[in-house]
Every structure is written in structure tokens, then in C-alpha cells.
Amino acid sequence: MSEIQDLAQSTCPRRLLEMRGFTNYESKSFAIEFLLAPMEGIGRKMKDHSVLDEVVSKLVQSQETLPSNVMRRNGPFIVLNEQGAATPLVWCFNNWIEPLSLAHRLGANQPILATRSFHGLLSGKAAKKNSLGALAEAYVDDLLSLHPNGPKVLGGNCQSAPIAEAMAHALISKGYKAPTLIVLDHSLQYCYPGRVVFLFGANSVNFNPFLQGKDPAERWRLQFESVDWAELPAQHGSYFRDPCIAELSARLRHQLDLAGGGSPTAFERCFSQLKRVLRGGR
């Protein structure tokens, strides 16, 4: 466990370890809580790929309803505003109406690489949970075939947000720089060695922790390398419609402007290496 100990000491913010009461870097509880836990369901390999194949097949078939000016491929992602020169936004949506609306609002210079969640494609919470990791891996493979350098900004809303989170961890495990991770009406469970942006509806009682008498801000500051949050003037399910879509677009554009390039930081490299060690080099 000495390798884990050395990596942990160089990787993990001491303030986070102190908050969670970790005094022994070699403990299994530390390994599972901080880094191994995100890989459960995120990095899990499926024994039966029939469910995944069915979901991807349905997703590709659903693209047939899209307008002819949308770049469709034989894979999970579509490309909107493909001639745009701005930093691409990678987003997992819940239907195809959402990316069409967002692409129109952001303008022709803003490319969007869009895919979808399980919504309308797979039923049952257990089935979705068990398929999450494999789906994220498949999405990342397709994404990298389109965008080999990896995304700078990656996000998802509601049911799509856990998929975006899993994709971000999968990218890090492959050695890519941690993208800015934006989640809408979703709270991340695990640590993340990059920038995190939380967006919640000002009237989204079931998802906005600030409307539930909670203030997670201090925990977020300890849990993530960098964090920001904001409220949107809408309720759940209406963010990609007027009038809210104007503010959502402005906030996404701001995060795209902030997103930096470059190689993975030392923190990100250690984070990725430690996860590989904990998983036995897999």
C-alpha cells in the first residue's frame, strides 16, 4: 500500500482528508471513499452488453427525427453548429429538442456536441444504474472520435448529469485534462479534480439544496478543486425554454470563455494514477 500512500499524500487536499476524518492514508476506507467509489458504476464493465447496444441503437434511430441541417452520425453524438469556431460545448441532454433550442440561442459560431440520457430509451432505475458506466465509456469513445483532444467543458441536466459526471471521470482515467463539469439540477457525490459548476432552478424545490434548508457550499469547496454555483429563474424541466434559456446560454458561454487548455495538472495526473492503482492497474 506504500504506492497508494505516496500518491494519496500528493493528490488529496489535506483539508478534505481532515474534514472526512482520514488519518491513515493506507486505510481501505480512505481508498474507497475518496477515489474508488466513483469507479463503482462509472468504470464497471458490463457482462451483458445487450442492454447497452439496445440503448445506443434506439438513440441513433431517434436521430432520424432531427432536421436535415444537423450533423448525424452512426453513433451517440450529433453535432450542431458544426462550422462554428468557438470552443465546443459537450452536453448530455434528455431529448433532442433541448440541444436544438440551445444551439439556436448560442448562435452559429458555437458548436455543440450533443447526446442523450436514458430518458425514453431505457426503463427502470436498476437497469439505468447498472448501465451507467458502460454507457459513459461508449459515449467517451464516440466523443473522442469526434474531438480527439477531449472537451474543455462537459455538462448535463437532470437525468443526463450523472452520465456527464461518469464521462468526466472516464476521460480523466484515460489521461485527459479534467473538463469543467457543469451540472444542472444535480448534486455530485464524489470528489472531482477540476472545476465544477452547479446550476439549480430558483423554483426547483426537489433538486435545489438551498430551497431545502441546506447550504452545501462549504462541503463543495472542500470536495472540488474549484466550484461555482448559481440559480436560474425557472422550475425544473423548463431551462431550455424562454425566458430561462437566455440566462442559461449566457452562463454556459461564460464558462466556455473561462475554460483553459493545456495538459493535465499534476493533481489530475496523480488522481488518475491513484485510481488505476486502486483498481489493480485496470
C-alpha cell at 195: 472545476
Rounded distance between C-alpha atoms, residue 242 and residue 238, angstroms: 8
- Give me the residue label for grid cell 472526512: 20
Rounded distance between C-alpha atoms, residue 145 and residue 142, angstroms: 5
Cβ contacts of residue 148 below 8 Å, gap of 6+? none
Helical segments of 36-124, H only: 50-62, 97-106
Element (H, E) at 159: none
Q: How do residues 44-81 score in pLDDT, each as one tens digit? A: 444 456 777 888 888 999 999 999 889 988 899 999 99
- Give me the residue label for grid cell 450533423: 71
Rounded distance between C-alpha atoms, residue 72 and residue 79, angstroms: 7
DSSP 12: S
**CATH for the stretch 2-278:** 3.40.50.1820
Q: By C-alpha distance, which of 94, 98, 97 is closest to 120?
A: 94
pLDDT band at 86 (very low <50, low <70, confident <90, very high): very high
Q: By C-alpha distance, which of 225, 165, 222, 167 is closest to 195?
A: 225
Q: Is 125's pLDDT higher than 50?
A: yes
| pLDDT given at position 33 | 46
pLDDT band at 279 (very low <50, low <70, confident <90, very high): low
Task: Give the chain's mean pLDDT.
Answer: 80
| pLDDT given at position 21 | 44
pLDDT band at 265 (very low <50, low <70, confident <90, very high): low
Higher pLDDT, 183 or 7: 183
* Residue 147: how many other CB atoms lie within 10 Å: 16
**CA gyration radius for the chain?**
19
Rounded distance between C-alpha atoms, residue 181 and residue 87, angstroms: 15
Q: How do residues 14-32 score in pLDDT, each as one tens digit? A: 444 444 444 444 444 444 4
pTM of the full structure: 0.81
Q: How do residues 210-231 score in pLDDT, each as one tens digit? A: 999 999 998 888 778 789 999 9
The percent of residues above 70 in pLDDT, for the chain, comes to 73
Rounded distance between C-alpha atoms, residue 51 and residue 69, angstroms: 30
